[in-house]
Amino acid sequence: NSLVLPVGKEICDTRTYLEHNKGYCESRQLHKTVVSDRGKAVFNGMIKVAKHAIKTDGQMTNHNLLLGKVAEVDTKPQLEIYADDVKCS
């Protein structure tokens, strides 16, 4: 989980990588960003599920709030799934 608060001209870069290698696993990620002024935030998140990791349940959530007219957030959630019978978002 993360909370990012860039202000002024700050740039904050958050990257996550979570790999499920066993079956019947569960993961939850929550990332929040509040950007003000001329701040910028970047979020890149990856959940990878291996071929043999059946019944995996993975969830990545990213919430952003812009408080400045030129504040920016770039969000790139990614899923890389090689197994059947999984639940990921």
pLDDT digits (tens, 9 = 90+) for 6-53: 989 999 999 999 999 999 999 999 999 999 999 999 999 999 999 999
Position 89 in a domain = no
* Domain annotation covers residue 25: yes
pTM of the model: 0.87
- Determine contact, residues 35/73, Cβ cutoff 8 Å: yes
Q: How far apart are CA 58 and CA 48, in angstroms?
A: 9
pLDDT score at 63: 97
Alpha carbon 49 to its chain's center: 15
Q: Give a yes or no: residue 53 inside a domain.
A: yes
33 inside domain: yes
Number of domains in the chain: 1
**Which residues constitute the domain of residue 44?**
2-84
Query: What pLDDT does 58 receive?
Result: 96
